[in-house]
Amino acid sequence: MNKILKYSLVGAGSVLGIAVAGAAYVAATFNPNDYKEQIIKAVKDAKQRDLKLDGEIKLTFFPSIGANLGKVSLSEFKSSAEFASIEGASVSLALMPLLSKQVVVDEVSLSGVKAQLVKHKDGSTNIDDLLSKDESKPSEGGQVKFDIASVNISKTELSYRDEASGANYAVKDFNLSTGRIANGVPSKISLSAVVQANQPKLDISTTLKTTLTFDLEKKHYQVEGLDLQAKGAALDIGNLVLQASGDASANLATQEFSAQKFTVAASGMKGKDNFDAKLDAPALSLTKDKFSGDKLTLDAKLDGAIGKLVASLSLPGVEGDAQSFKVSELMLDVDMQQPEQSFKVKLTSPLSGNFEAQQFNLSNLTLAVNATGDKLPNKSVNSEMKGSVQVDAIKQNVQANLAGGLLQSQVKAKLGVIGFADSAIHFDIDVDQFDADLYMPKKSAEAKSNEPEQPLDLSALRKLNLDGSLRIGSLKVANIKSSNVRVDVKAHGGQVSVAPLSANLYQGSVNGSLSINAAGTPSIAVNQTLSGINVAALTKDAADFDTLEGKGNIGLNLTMQGNTVSAMKKALNGSMSLNLADGAIKGINIAKKLRDAKGMLGKGNAQTSSADQNEKTDFSELKATFKVNSGVAHNDDLSMKSPLLRLSGNGDINIGNDSMNYLAKATLAKTLEGQGGADAVGGLTVPVRVSGPFTDLKYTLDFGAMVGEAAKQKVEAKKEEIKTKVQDKLKDSLKGLFR
């Protein structure tokens, strides 16, 4: 036995010696650089591409078989333009394992790799000719196993361009180093790269360190000590920082997944909003037969235009399997701080579902809201809603049925969402009462005047797909109070239609429609009829405009367009009508002004005065129609009547500039008895001009015109007197003639 072992070792040593001697001879006598031209020609003939071998080729044969290449480049198909290049590359294989069909790679090293993949508009790519399928049958021999001692890739740049969509993707500064890579062997991985794209927008610098273990036959993969760091910009998020750590494993053959001490944290800025989020999964196991896990939490913070928001979502534990799982209680806590109020929201519900069918059910949901603020009722509002929510992820369908208190309101709501990427929302909501102004942050008048006007942002409406009905028993918004409100809304592709838009308000009612076009420059169309409205109360609450009293009807058929409120007011077009009864024009008492103006007769000048809110001119009827063009409402048919006064006129109300220039003509009764006794000005027509900004209107009475009117009346009266005397004398003469 010893002899057999001895002879075997001697034989093996002899074979090894011969192999070493042969390898040494080949290495000494064979120079691969002598065959560069043949290699270049072979590539040209076979692939119609230009191969350049600018560096020296070096071969090794023992103890490893390997090759070192200098700079190599390959052109595009049938073109001299460069497709890919390598600054340097080396690969070596252990010699002895090859004899047993085991590929043991000592080292793979690549440096300065550059390649550009292009997808043309016809769907073909610039590597189609390199991907021709080998139709030869695979060998029936045993499977070749591989084992790589290490991989080192540095200074690599890869890019992809889609000519049809215009998408560009690039991986730059790609660096990879590994330990031994083989089935069942833990391998340390270190990777860094910069990823850039325009669709979606990406510019991310990332590093990854972990220990990877895999079994290709069993399709099992495991990472331990994961440390992922990423920084940059993604989509519309800037200053993005992403971190992930922990252990995870996946067995694709048995559909088993697990994670331990797994955390993901992200922070960044979207617009002017800063956010921070962290997911913590201490232990999670998902198999076909059983789901289990410790408490999973997601914490998030947002500091932006809407205020400071802190949210926390927790799942205390998961039980069940892929067909049926449950969580005893899902909990969501949200805390929002705004300048004038704060909100605390808590949502709790058992969660159950079917992962395979992707169906989830919040069967007993409770939503509690606490709001505090100096302007809230009793400085605090508590409310609670209950109901259920069902989600079918495959059908992309969400249905919710909720009822109870929400802030200061009692609400019944049915909501439906179809589609997640482009959601179609259906709703039917009943609200007993709501004061929206309580929850709108206020700005000081000084701050408003110093700030430039902000453009209207209706971009959210462009993606809105909405159809539903909202009914509110009592509503206050922008200080306008209404009741029995009904709003039916349809919105799609930036086109929003509200019809009907009806309500009771200020002792009357409103009914009509409203449409908004947000697809381009924002535009709004209003078609409303206000019936039996108390105008004084409406204008006072809506615009703090306290100039007109009365009750009656108002018609509005207006369109406006612009990127700001000011631009819309100046682009206002359409028509308006006014028909009021038993009211007054505040700021001036025309009858009193004229009665007090007897001393002005003959002086021929005008008198201008500011509005006096203690004075008013009563009327029993006021009618007018307006044509609105570029923000200016023009009127020619004003008609105001009272027992002692008739008023007509024409002029402009400049809605765009909040001012007016209007000339009214007041005709007084023959006597002002009842307002101070008979006066010499009775029966005269007096021009009254109203002009200036709404906040400082001026009233001008033209006494010169009044004097002219008085003289004209005297002349007419004298003519009438002479005419009467002539007629009387003529009658007397005719009587004498016939006698």
Kindly list the domain boundaries of the chain, sorted by start residue.
Answer: 18-125+144-199
Q: How many CB atoms lie within 10 A of CB 437?
A: 13
pLDDT at 590 over 80: no
Q: Which two tokens stand for residue 257?
A: 């997944």
CB proximity list for 593: less than 8 A, separation 6 or greater? 607, 701
Q: Which residue has the tokens 């009793």?
A: 378
Tell me the average pLDDT across 208-228.
91
Q: Which two tokens stand for residue 447?
A: 């701050």
Please list the helix, strand and coil fractions of the chain in percent, rounded to the nearest 5, in that order: 20, 60, 25
pLDDT tens digits for 626-637? 999 999 999 999
Q: Which two tokens stand for residue 451?
A: 């700030």
Amino acid at 613: Q
Report, in angstroms and rounded to the nearest whole number, the Rg of the chain calculated over CA atoms: 44
DSSP 3-state of 544: coil
Q: What is the pLDDT of residue 622?
A: 87
Q: What is the pLDDT of residue 593?
A: 67
Q: What is the pLDDT of residue 422?
A: 80
CB 366 within 8 A of CB 348: yes
The winner for highest mean pLDDT among 12-21, 228-237, 284-293 is: 228-237
The more confident residue out of 106 and 624 is 624
pLDDT at 371 over 90: no
Tell me the average pLDDT across 158-163.
92
pLDDT at 24 over 50: no
Using CA of residue 548, residue 554, residue 560, residue 562, what is the dihedral sign?
positive
The more confident residue out of 410 and 22 is 410
Tell me the average pLDDT across 75-91.
87
The winner for highest mean pLDDT among 215-219, 359-363, 682-686 is: 359-363
Residue 737, φ and ψ in degrees, nearest 5: -65, -45
User: What's this model's pTM, rounded to 2 decimal places?
Assistant: 0.61
pLDDT at 570 over 50: yes
The enclosing H or E element of 396 equals none
User: In the 3-class helix/strand/coil scheme, how is 365-395 assigned residue by residue?
Assistant: EEEEEEEEECCCHHHEEEEEEEEEEEEECCC
CB 277 within 8 A of CB 300: yes
Q: Kindly state the percentage of the chain with pLDDT values over 70.
A: 79
Q: What is the pLDDT of residue 446?
A: 47
Q: Which two tokens stand for residue 601?
A: 């007769």
How would DSSP label each residue in 692-712? EEGGG-EEEEEHHHHHHHHHH
Q: What is the pLDDT of residue 230?
A: 94
Q: How many CB atoms lie within 10 A of CB 248?
A: 19
CB 584 within 8 A of CB 616: yes
Q: What is the pLDDT of residue 686?
A: 75
Amino acid at 493: G
Q: Strand locations in 100-184, DSSP E?
A: 102-111, 114-119, 145-148, 151-162, 168-178
How far is the CA of 343 from the CAs of 277, 416, 603, in angstroms?
20, 26, 68
Amino acid at 450: N
Average pLDDT, rounded, for the chain: 80
pLDDT at 610 over 70: no
CB 69 within 8 A of CB 85: no
Q: Which residue has the tokens 């940059």?
A: 232
Q: What is the pLDDT of residue 461?
A: 83
Which residues lie across from 263 on neighbouring strands? 245, 280
Q: What is the DSSP letter of 250?
A: E
pLDDT at 574 over 90: yes
pLDDT class for 535, splitting at 50, 70, 90?
Answer: confident
Of the listed ranges 71-80, 245-254, 281-290, the one predicted with least confidence? 281-290
State how far the Cα of 349 lies from the Cα of 362, in Å rounded to an integer: 6
pLDDT class for 640, splitting at 50, 70, 90?
Answer: confident
Tell me the average pLDDT across 688-705.
76
The more confident residue out of 641 and 264 is 264
Q: Which two tokens stand for residue 416?
A: 């439906």
State how far the Cα of 526 lies from the Cα of 516, in Å rounded to an integer: 9
Q: Strand locations in 135-272, DSSP E?
A: 145-148, 151-162, 168-178, 187-198, 201-215, 220-234, 237-251, 256-270
CA neighbor of 82 nearest in space, from 49, 38, 44, 127: 49
The CA-to-CA distance between both ends of the chain, in Å, stands at: 186
State how far the Cα of 592 lies from the Cα of 678, in Å rounded to an integer: 12
Of the listed ranges 110-114, 239-243, 558-562, 642-646, the one predicted with least confidence? 642-646
User: HSE of 419 in the Cβ direction (CA atoms, 13 Å)?
Assistant: 10
pLDDT at 343 over 50: yes
Q: What is the pLDDT of residue 138?
A: 47
Q: Which two tokens stand for residue 495?
A: 């086109």
pLDDT at 734 over 70: no
Q: What is the pLDDT of residue 615?
A: 78
pLDDT tens digits for 53-63? 887 888 776 66
Q: What is the pLDDT of residue 265?
A: 94
Q: What is the pLDDT of residue 381?
A: 82
CB proximity list for 226: less than 8 A, separation 6 or greater? 208, 209, 210, 244, 245, 246, 247, 248, 262
Q: What is the pLDDT of residue 80?
A: 87
State how far the Cα of 83 lies from the Cα of 25, in Å rounded to an integer: 38
DSSP 3-state of 448: helix
pLDDT class for 172, splitting at 50, 70, 90?
Answer: very high
Q: What is the pLDDT of residue 692?
A: 87
Amino acid at 83: F
DSSP 3-state of 202: strand
pLDDT at 558 over 60: yes
Q: What is the DSSP letter of 130?
A: G
